[in-house]
Amino acid sequence: MNAKKLPDGGVLYDETDESDDDIEVEGDASAAPISATIDWNEGRLEVSGLSGADLIAEFVKRLPNKPGVYRMFNDDGDVLYVGKARSLKKRVGNYAVGRVHSNRIAQMVRLTANMEFVTTRTETEALLLEANLIKRLRPRFNVLLRDDKSFPYILITGDHRAPSIFKHRGARARKGDYFGPFASAGAVGRTINSLQRAFLIRTCTDSVFETRTRPCLLYQIKRCSAPCTHEISDEGYAELVQEAKDFLSGKSQNVKAHMAEEMNAAAEDLDFERAAIYRDRLAALSMVQSHQGINPAGVEEADVFAIHHEGGISCIQVFFFRTGQNWGNRAYFPKADPQLSSAEVLNAFLAQFYDDKPVPKQILLSETVEEIELLAAAFSEKASHKVSILVPQRGEKKDLVDHVVANAREAHGRKLAETASQSRLLEGFKETFALPYVPQRIEIYDNSHIMGTNAVGGMVVAGPEGFVKNQYRKFNIKSTDITPGDDFGMMREVMTRRFSRLLKEEGIPDRNQPLDTVDTADMPFPAWPDVILIDGGQGQMTAVRTILEELGITDSVTAIGVAKGVDRDAGRERFFPPGRESFTLPPRDPVLYFIQRLRDEAHRFAIGSHRARRKKEMVRNPLDEIGGIGPSRKRALLQHFGTAKAVSRAGLSDLMTVEGISEAVARQVYNHFHEDGAK
């Protein structure tokens, strides 16, 4: 028996003899051996000449009765499905005997051209690995968590003598204490503002902190204790930081009781100024908790999940409770087969949800899921503390779950209404522009610049479920041949870059079977647009169609121009479709409103991208362009000379007097600003 260690931590199991590529059949001496190739680089065992149930049956003969994860692939090597099993042999064997549960599974088995197996030590490890692979590979036939936005956290740093408090997203790489998740950035901002008033912790960056010579305005308005200029001792500041950590860790009552004692003691000593400070800090803490909505006394740390499943759409509502406070909620609409039960969808959702998030001590569910004990064991192992998963039947926790269920039902209703409305609008869009089918992907383009500077092209995407923000793209205009302000030239560059790359990555799309004539429930969002809308008139459209003709894709994409009406009034837009005369729509036409909304979103996105680029350009420091000048040397130069302009005027000998600047570095800085070289 051979075992191959894989990059994702599992083990590829097979029973091949290292000296022979033929595989001996386990437990069935009469079965003929099959030809197989082993590609250790991919960690995959390929069986030639078979597919579907026959291929699976051959694999089953040499699978162990061990826990693990299996992956199914189609002819193109795309992952169709990722599953986990307590026994790989038994679980995968179910696919080979013909007892399928739905048309979806039958189709999945039929498309399977190869499989891949990873054994794990326990079923809990298999569950965690499965969730990780599903989120990373996004297989067509799995329940998929549509989570395109990370949760914000509060970070109290731990790598500085005076820790600071920040909003944080992304990898938790910086040393410090993280508190969350919060459902929205707004909730984090409100909480940090109140914590500033309550604990007087700094929010400035380390570079600003190091350069302060006197307290900033936040100290004057009593929102910072100014450790930068030692208005408070390091020991006193450390006590404030610890109080903030205790409050965010669930010890809020102890913190408030301590503050109340200090306030009363100050009042008894007739130190009313100090008593007023504690009074204001207590009021700030009360504000944190008063903005949390529902705050059940019996739920200190928990996530509450409720699902509403109807009309082929599942809505999972999640509420977050930390330190006895409600830190917000979020609705999810996972991609799942409509035939799956709500419990099956919720079960698959939970494992993926906590793949990259900290797990609370308690999870409350609206209904029982099949693998509740396995999930609890896996989450406990992942979090290194006991995690309990409960389905409350009575009391305060049941009332809380019922409240979350009501929110899930309302969000589900709104989603259904939006989807129905979007479907009607897309159908109307098809009829208005005489398209052969209902578009599944519409791309809208717009440019933004000021007198040709910091030019940016923006692309937004819409589909049957509205705007698809993870598909948005921006294009920084790079060509030096474009005359500043030449909108036609900018659009030519955007179109060329967009569709040249799309051709390279996806090839020309097959339009023989439009997407609106097939079941797209199990299909990923299309990469190719059916329609592109250009913010511009006949001139813009001539430039765009020229590019499409040069690339040979005029039959693959329908390009439509949207020109602003007379006096640039909304409602009087003129449309330039291919092969037809331009026309306008009645002022109250729903399709007109729909197109205006698409165009306005493209305009908003392009302007936002332009402003971000312009802001970055405005704050650029000339020292950033010098190789070898990092943050430390730049800070040393600026502290010594005051401004980058003063650095540019400094002589070589002056530059060498700066701490940390050697003669070689000083010469490099001097040469950057002086064409005649260092003298």
Query: Over the stretch 611-627, which tens digit does the pLDDT of each residue have?
Result: 777 666 655 666 777 77
d(CA 74, CA 19): 29
pLDDT band at 25 (very low <50, low <70, confident <90, very high): very low
d(CA 164, CA 206): 8
pLDDT band at 114 (very low <50, low <70, confident <90, very high): confident
CATH number at residue 491: 3.30.420.340
Rounded to the nearest 5 degrees, what angle is found at the Cα of 425, between the Cα atoms of 419 and 430? 125
Which residue would you say has higher pLDDT here, 335 or 290? 335
Domain check: are 484 and 600 in the same one? yes
Other CB atoms within 10 Å distance of the CB of residue 611: 14
Q: Is the peptide bond before 7 cis (omega within 30 degrees of 0)?
A: no
pLDDT of residue 14: 41
Domain-embedded: residue 420: no
Domain-embedded: residue 297: no
Domain check: are 320 and 273 in the same one? no
Domain check: are 539 and 604 in the same one? yes
- Three-state SS string across 511-567, please? CCCCHHHCCCCCCCCCCCCCEEEEECCHHHHHHHHHHHHHHCCCCCCEEEEEECCHH
Domain-embedded: residue 533: yes
Question: What DSSP element (H or E) covers 58?
Answer: helix 52-60
Kindly tell me if the per-residue pLDDT of 13 is higher than 70.
Answer: no
pLDDT digits (tens, 9 = 90+) for 452-474: 567 788 899 998 888 888 899 88
Counts of helices then strands in the chain (DSSP H, E): 20, 23
- Pick from 374-383, 453-462, 492-501: least confident: 453-462
What percent of the chain is predicted at pLDDT more than 90? Answer: 8
Kindly tell me if the per-residue pLDDT of 365 is higher than 90.
Answer: yes
Which residue would you say has higher pLDDT here, 383 or 42? 383
Domain-embedded: residue 122: yes
pLDDT digits (tens, 9 = 90+) for 188-242: 887 788 788 778 889 888 888 888 888 888 888 888 889 999 888 988 899 888 8
DSSP letter for each residue of 616-653 = HHHT--GGGGSTT--HHHHHHHHHHHSSHHHHHH--HH
Domain-embedded: residue 559: yes
pLDDT of residue 441: 92
pLDDT of residue 567: 57
Which residue would you say has higher pLDDT here, 9 or 317? 317
Domain check: are 597 and 475 in the same one? yes
pLDDT of residue 355: 82
pLDDT of residue 254: 65
pLDDT digits (tens, 9 = 90+) for 549-604: 888 888 888 999 988 766 555 667 889 988 888 888 887 788 888 888 888 888 88
pLDDT digits (tens, 9 = 90+) for 399-431: 889 989 988 988 888 887 777 788 888 999 999
What percent of the chain is predicted at pLDDT more than 70? Answer: 79
The residue range of the domain holding 453 is 433-616
CATH number at residue 642: 1.10.150.20
Locate tokens 């809380």: which residue? 400
Which residue would you say has higher pLDDT here, 248 or 291? 248
Structure tokens at 58: 């051959």
pLDDT of residue 483: 66
Mean residue pLDDT of the chain comes to: 78
Domain check: are 308 and 399 in the same one? yes
pLDDT of residue 568: 54
The reply to whether the predicted model has a pTM over 0.85 is no
3-class secondary structure, 164:
coil
Domain check: are 597 and 472 in the same one? yes
d(CA 102, CA 625): 61
Helix 342-353 and helix 123-137, axial crossing angle in degrees, nearest 10: 90
- Pick from 112-116, 159-163, 284-288, 525-529: least confident: 284-288
Tally the domains of the chain.
5
Other CB atoms within 10 Å distance of the CB of residue 259: 20
Domain check: are 61 and 21 in the same one? yes
Residue where a domain terminates, one of 238, 258, 290: 290
Q: Are 355 and 147 in contact (CB under 8 A)?
A: no
Residue where a domain terminates, one of 616, 631, 658: 616
Residue where a domain terminates, one of 95, 111, 137: 137
d(CA 87, CA 271): 71
Domain-embedded: residue 511: yes
Kindly tell me if the per-residue pLDDT of 131 is higher than 80.
Answer: yes
Domain check: are 612 and 627 in the same one? no
3-class secondary structure, 379:
helix
pLDDT of residue 101: 60
Kindly tell me if the per-residue pLDDT of 11 is higher than 90.
Answer: no
Domain check: are 590 and 632 in the same one? no
Domain check: are 440 and 344 in the same one? no
Domain check: are 308 and 279 in the same one? no
Domain check: are 131 and 209 in the same one? no
Kindly tell me if the per-residue pLDDT of 519 is higher than 70.
Answer: no
Structure tokens at 264: 């009363």
Rounded to 5 degrees, φ, ψ at 179 are: -125, 130
d(CA 555, CA 13): 49
Domain-embedded: residue 40: yes
CATH number at residue 88: 3.40.1440.10
Domain-embedded: residue 61: yes
d(CA 659, CA 632): 10
